[in-house]
Structure 1
Amino acid sequence: MSFFKQVLATITGIIITGIIAFFLFFFMIAIIAQFSSEKTQPAPPNSVLYLSLDYNIIEKSVDNPFEDLDLPFGMAEKSIGLNDLLARIEAAKTDDNIKGIYLNASTANVGFATLKAIRDALVDFKSSKKFIVAYSEGYSQKAYYLASTADKIYLHPQGSLDFRGLGTSIMYLKDALDKFGINMQVVRVGTYKSAVEPFTMNQMSPANREQTMSYLNSIYNMFLDDLAASRKIQKDSLFRYADEFVIRNADDALKYKFIDGKLYKDELIAEIKKRLNIDNKKDIPVVSVLNYGGTPTNNKDKSNEIAVLYAYGDIVDGEGSIEEIGGDKLSRELRKLREDEDVKAIVLRVNSPGGSALASDIIWREVDLTKKVKPIIVSMGDYAASGGYYISVAADSIFAEKSTLTGSIGVFGLIPNAKELLNNKLGIKFEEVKTGKYATMLNSWDKPLTEEEKAIMQQYVNETYQTFIKRVSDGRKIPTSKVDSIGQGRVWTGEQAVALGLVDKIGNIKDAIRAAAAKGKLDSYYVKEYPQSESPFSSIFTTSKDKIRMWMIGEDLGEYYKYLKELQKLTKHTGIQARIPYTVEIY
């Protein structure tokens, strides 16, 4: 008996020691990171602001003390919030130490609304008469869209420039699911509610193709309009160049006036030195936008606060994670801001494809209550669709970018049936014991829904859709019949949504802040962002086994990881969903 006690004590000691060592390890890493990582810093005299997009651009910056260390599981990933990126470009505009921007971008892995916001900030920067020089070994279409704002655009002599028009693709999984013996049972409302199509079809439905082409053309028109204005090239010519794919290399780009010259890196450095009037033997003073500590001038009248509340990610029930909109968490933030007498107006920044219909309604209620107490204005990012639109409709007014994807007024439920996989392929069977006819209706994957159960689920979906329509009708002052006709799950761009009355104005977050100030009759105010940053070390404790596993899978799958991630997202969502059709990636 004493032997087993000793074994148990040894095992317990090992476990406790391991836990202590784990926390000590990360504590030491955190201390090292705290002292080794570069802090935000002022720009040196006669310098350039270096802007590259080879890092993640998220909606709001998150402190990460590990980003300068080579750590696994995505913990050292460099990122910057769009909020800080725009603020630093704005600050550089009036910073006497900064003479210009060096834009070095090959790719830009962001949505078009985010891209447009950055581009507008660069255009505004140029009003200071400071220079922007763009250079790359190869421009993607999105990177070139930003580079087109520059005074001079240069390309490596052997480089490339991608200009073929915009496109998107959707992966369909029905045949693969059939092979596994999984049947996705769907209940939905909306002709265009195509979030479930990849699981139930092998090709795009005519309705989905129609809406996809519609919003793609809307974004493409904006894209070509902006390029035409910046490069002084006719829009019709741009369309033809892309359609015929005539621009492929540096010579083509120069011939068609897409660039101003072909340069090697040493020649580019020499030109920037010439602009700064620096001796060729000296280095160029430079500060990265990641580290630049400049902040734009902000009125410091502490009695008039405009709160900017960020809501980005999937909408989920409960608290959610740092990358999700938890219905309970966001509602609590709204209540606090509503009850804070120093907060005179609120801007709700929404960047979400939607999610839980219930959580969306919980948030909607708080927005509606807030509007009765103080102004609340919505600013839309890349997405504010389905549930993302649901939480927006009660606001006083809504601002969107031209390329924001919004609308998608429709709901669905997705119930997997793995009877073929479990029973026939794996030999796994279940026996039920229940006290009510419907007690196990949604608790097992090994049986199809009965006709009665389908009818019950369809009733849930229909009722949720009618509630959704009413919320839109009440908030936007549109008859329910019209909401239904432009709803049906259809996705619209911000530009289209303005014409339909779903959005009030095209504008960015600064426009929304100005509107909030005007609505609140504030001559002077200051802006504060919410929710307040969590502990920079919180990522240590949220790096779960699942997160580590998915990171490792992502390393192996590379670019195909995004498809697995989308599949995981949709299959884990329970209850009635108000979501945009998949994640739209335009390239």
Structure 2
Amino acid sequence: MKDFIKSVLATMVGIFGFFIVMGVLTMMSIIGMVASSSAAQNVEENSVFVLNLSGTISDQGTDNPLSLFTGDDSQSTGLNNILSAIKKAKTNDDIKGIYIEAGALITNYATLQEIRNALADFRKSGKWIVAYGDYYTQGAYYVASVANKVYINPKGIVDWHGIGAQTMFYKDFMAKFGVKCEVVKVGTFKSATETFTEEKMSDANRLQTQTFINGTWQNICTAVSKSRGISIDSLNSYADSYLALQSTEMLMKAKMVDGMMYSDKVKDAVKKMMKLEKDDDIAQLTLNDMLNVKDEKVEGDKIAIYYASGDIVQDPKAATMFGNNNYIASRKVCKDLEDLMNDDDVKAVVVRINSGGGDAYASEQMWHQMSELRKVKPVVVSMGDYAASGAYYMSAPASWIVAQPNTLTGSIGIFAVIPDFSGLVTTKLGVRFDEVKTNRHSTFGNLMARPFNAEETAMLQASVNRGYSLFRQRVADGRHLTIESVEKIAQGRVWLATDALNIKLVDQLGGIDDAVKKAAELAKLKEYYTSDYPAAASWIDNLLNSMTSSGTYLDTQLRQTLGELYQPFTVLRSIDKREAIQARIPYAISIK
């Protein structure tokens, strides 16, 4: 028996030791691969940059160590990385062209517009672009259409269908659980609350939504028409026929693509453009490779590019509680902007904002810090897909505002949504409440017990009205407008940037590079370089985040099982976790 126990213990120690050794070896392997991936990349003569357009694209990229094993750039693709890679490819004499691998790209149109413009600028250098895909989403095709040649698999698909916007309405869903929302707001167009109180879009919301999707679609069709030589009327006709269900031969006749071939034959087409023999290999560089290609040495003064993306919150815990790791935390942003203000090496700041807004109080704090920063050095805002409501609030004091034509902005308005659980708790669950209090409103806000009374609702409305007046004043001061003129364009209305330019909510249409150039002009800089902020997280932090960011196992399974129906359940369980008074665009709008 003694020998048996010894044998068992020895086996257990051996197994434990084996896993420790394997863990150490795995970690060493990861460290080695990370170090190798960050080494300076040599560019062979006659090379091609391969740009994978699939998945989603964030404003600021992060290093994802897991992509070293999967080889999937799309897991951690950042717009800043893509733009940097295209710029390097343009100026590097050894890179002759860009090969776009198109696929299921799901990203908003202002981001796509920025990438497309960068590719168009690349072509101006005399270099070529070839695109190929088995399946082009509409966004992927929009970008790929700028190429010299667009190829598709003989059985491939181009999903060209136009733009639609859908909003979910939760009033009846919540009523099944005995839950309703107490809502107060300011602004005819401030429709974010409708999802909790209505069954369909209001006339005002329908008008603003139809206006900005029409404008976005017009911008897309104009660009594709110019690149492909197809009339806008024809492009609309193709969208009406829903190209995804049409034959690939029809795509050829419609001039949407230049040729049909299988993926192994595309190499021959690329070799022909590069004047290579059939047996020659093509020197290729991925996005990760391009990021490690050395930049030309640039001297001069520093311009900081500060990235702010996601929901605006005071406390990050409220955002991350249900798996949202994309947020703008006001306390951190204010501290970072203060540091940039006090950094004498930074001569100007470009704040890249991609947000539909959020907490009104947090937006006010960031407005203050942006105002303080502007007193010391030029501040230029570069707007991404969205810079609306609370995000516009923080943008208002900037020296200059640049937005892509497809950016959604404005939405100057305030609302409060407070969940009333009294129907669930008292009626459905049978819980009873009694109370004693010292003052008239000592139990104000306990919506587990009862709804607001008329006096309490009036007090909340007065608070929201004050918030709206302050927001409107901040915009008037920052944009040098009268209160009356701001009121005409406010009321919570969302504007496409092309329209926002005409009403002086933005100063210029363009992307990050345009914002940087303006910042240099305002700071009177002749030579300059840019540096991204906040600093990227370490690779070990990203590795840990990539393994934990998917949430709990049950949450992941629920998401996979329910699909689009997952969202109503997350709204219900997280509705009381946000601050009551919000400045954000229409809630849960899906633009496809």
Normalized against structure 2, the TM-score is what? 0.89
Of 552, 560, 579, the residue aligned with 1:555 is: 560
In structure 1, distance between residues paired with 2:26 and 2:561 = 26
| One-letter amino acid of the counterpart of residue 312, structure 1 | S
- Contact 2:386–2:407 (8 Å) recurs in 1: yes
Equivalent residue number for residue 493 of structure 2: 490
Change (3 A) 1:172 1:30: farther
Distance 1:133 1:522 in 2: 37
2:13 match: none
Q: Which runs of 5+ in 2 are unaligned?
A: 1-18
Q: Percent identity between the aligned chains?
A: 40
Query: SS in structure 2 opposite 1:440?
Result: coil
Structure-2 residue corresponding to 1:157: 154
**Which amino acid in 2 is paired with 1:532?**
A
* Matching residue of 2:293: 294
Partner of 1:61: 61
- Does residue 421 (structure 1) correspond to residue 424 (structure 2)? The answer is yes
Native 8 Å contact 2:54 2:74 kept in 1 = no
Matched ranges for 1:27-176 at <5 A: 31-36=28-33, 39-40=37-38, 41-69=41-69, 78-176=75-173
Distance 1:65 1:231 in 2: 39
Corresponding position of 1:462:
465
Change (3 A) 1:56 1:563: farther
CA apart distance, 1:298:
6.0
SS of aligned partner of 1:372 = helix
Contact 1:92 1:294 in 2 (8 A): no
Could you report, residue by residue, the CA deviation over 1:363-400 in whole angstroms, capped at 9, with x for unpaired residues?
00011111111111110000100000000000111000
TM-score, normalised by the number of residues in structure 1: 0.89
Matching of residues 541-580 of structure 1 within 5 Å: 543=548, 549-561=554-566, 564=569, 571-580=576-585
State the partner residue of 1:184: 181
Written as runs of structure 1 = structure 2, the 5 A alignment for 1:431-442 is 431-442=434-445
- The Cα of 1:300 is off from its aligned counterpart by 2.1
Deviation at 1:266, TM superposition (A): 2.2
The whole-number CA distance in structure 1 between the counterparts of 2:278 and 2:494 is 54
Change (3 A) 1:329 1:242: same
The equivalent residue for 1:257 is 255
Greater shift after overlay, 28-37 or 336-345? 28-37
- Measure, in 2, the Cα distance between the counterparts of 1:354 and 1:99: 42
Could you tell me which residue of structure 2 aligns to residue 316 of structure 1?
313
Task: Tell me the distance in 2 between the aligned counterparts of 1:422 and 1:172.
Answer: 22
Deviations 1:449-503 (A, max 9, x none): 1111111111110000000000000011111112112111110011110011111
Q: 1:550 to 1:35 in 2, by over 3 A?
A: farther
Q: Structure 1 stretch 121-130 or stretch 53-62: which is displaced more?
A: 53-62
State the 1:69 CA deviation.
4.9
CA distance in 2, matches of 1:515, 1:39: 34
Instruction: Extract unaligned runs of 5+ from structure 1.
Output: 1-21
Task: Give the distance between the partners of 1:414 and 1:313, measured in 2 at CA.
Answer: 20
* 1:340 maps to which of 343, 347, 366: 343
Could you give the per-residue CA deviations for residues 306-331 of structure 1, whole angstroms, max 9, x where no partner exists? 11111111110146776211111101
Q: Distance in 2 between matches of 1:546 and 1:447?
A: 34
SS of residue paired to 1:267: helix
**How far 1:518 sits from its partner (Å)?**
0.5
Which residue matches 1:4? none
Deviation of 1:445 after TM superposition, in Å, equals: 3.0
Question: 1: distance between equivalents of 2:404 and 2:140?
Answer: 18
SS in 1 for 2:163: coil
The 1:68/1:569 distance shift into structure 2, 3 A limit, reads: farther
8 Å CA contact retained: 1:377, 1:516: yes
| TM-aligned CA distance change 1:151 to 1:204, over 3 Å | same
The match for 1:277 is 275
SS of the aligned residue for 1:180 comes to coil
Q: Secondary structure of the residue that 2:105 maps to in structure 1?
A: coil
What's the CA shift for 1:164? 2.0
- Is the contact between residue 111 and residue 385 of structure 2 (CA under 8 Å) also seen in structure 1? yes
Do the aligned residues in 2 keep the contact of 1:30 with 1:65 (CA within 8 Å)?
no
Contact 2:396/2:479 (8 A) holds in 1: yes
Return the offset for 1:344: 1.0
Q: Does 1:305 align with 2:302?
A: yes
Letter in 2 for 1:205: S
